[in-house]
Chains A and B, each alone.
Chain A
Amino acid sequence: TQLLEQSPQFLSIQEGENLTVYCNSSSVFSSLQWYRQEPGEGPVLLVTVVTGGEVKKLKRLTFQFGDARKDSSLHITAAQPGDTGLYLCAGLSAGGTSYGKLTFGQGTILTVHP
């Protein structure tokens, strides 16, 4: 069974601070996706990282995929109250009996206070 460990589970910070969310696994993934979810809504895709060592930037958000494609991080610079939400990482299985299956981490609840 492939597991994704996401940390921290909760993050409460002040506007303007920086933060990093981590997503770790002992398994290799063909790609890793980051989502943001607001209460009562479905997850919205932020980014997909595919290549080991890949770094993608989306305005104040920086996503990194580990060299071995087992882990990823999301860094937010100068957080704003609008960044508040549940952040989810999800790995796409690279092979085996669950090839192509999407597995989620437990999520990080981010609260940014004005």
Chain B
Amino acid sequence: DTGVSQDPRHKITKRGQNVTFRCDPISEHNRLYWYRQTLGQGPEFLTYFQNEAQLEKSRLLSDRFSAERPKGSFSTLEIQRTEQGDSAMYLCASSAYISEAFFGQGTRLTVV
């Protein structure tokens, strides 16, 4: 197992376009987290899953953001009608139930 994998590593998109990111967690990890991070700041919670169930979604997130984990394995995060303020690093992490979380390398989104 090579750890948490995120794809793509970098994404440049025009304002108004939709983007989708993928996260493959460590196998057998039933918890999966999505965070957003801007330069020099701590990660900001977006949402998390236990298996395929989405347990919580940040109230800061607009309806343009949606995440799925259909079979309790990989997850996708979609941003519709992107805005320049969406430019950030999007991080995915996984954990085995209530335990330490391991992060992927992130997807750097730039909206131009």
Q: A residues near B, CB below 8 A?
A: 6, 30-31, 33, 35, 40-45, 48, 86, 88, 90, 92, 97-107, 109
Q: How far is the CA of A107 from the CA of B43 in the complex (A)?
A: 9
| Residue of B43, B101, B102, B105 contacting most chain A CB atoms (<10 Å) | B43
Give the total number of A-B pairs whose CB atoms are below 8 A apart. 65
Decide yes or no: A45 and B100 within 8 Å by CB, A100-B31, A101-B48, A102-B33 being known contacts: yes
16 other contacts beyond A42-B105, A90-B101, A101-B48, with CB at 8 A cut-off? A31-B99, A31-B100, A35-B103, A41-B105, A42-B104, A42-B106, A86-B40, A88-B42, A100-B50, A100-B97, A101-B45, A101-B56, A102-B45, A102-B93, A102-B101, A104-B45
Give the secondary structure class of A's interface.
strand
Chain B residue numbers with a CB within 8 Å of A97 are 56
Interface of chain B residues 8 through 46 with chain A (CB within 8 A): 31, 33, 35, 40-45
Give the secondary structure class of B's interface.
strand
Q: B residues near A, CB below 8 A?
A: 4, 6, 31, 33, 35, 40-45, 48, 50, 55-56, 91, 93, 95, 97-106, 108
Task: Evaluate contact between A30 and B98: CB separation under 8 angstroms.
Answer: yes
Task: Evaluate contact between B42 and A105: CB separation under 8 angstroms.
Answer: yes
Q: Can you spell out 21 A-B residue pairs with CB atoms less than 8 angstroms apart?
A: A31-B99, A40-B106, A41-B106, A42-B6, A42-B103, A42-B105, A42-B106, A86-B40, A90-B101, A100-B55, A101-B45, A101-B48, A101-B55, A102-B48, A102-B95, A103-B45, A104-B42, A104-B43, A104-B45, A106-B41, A107-B40
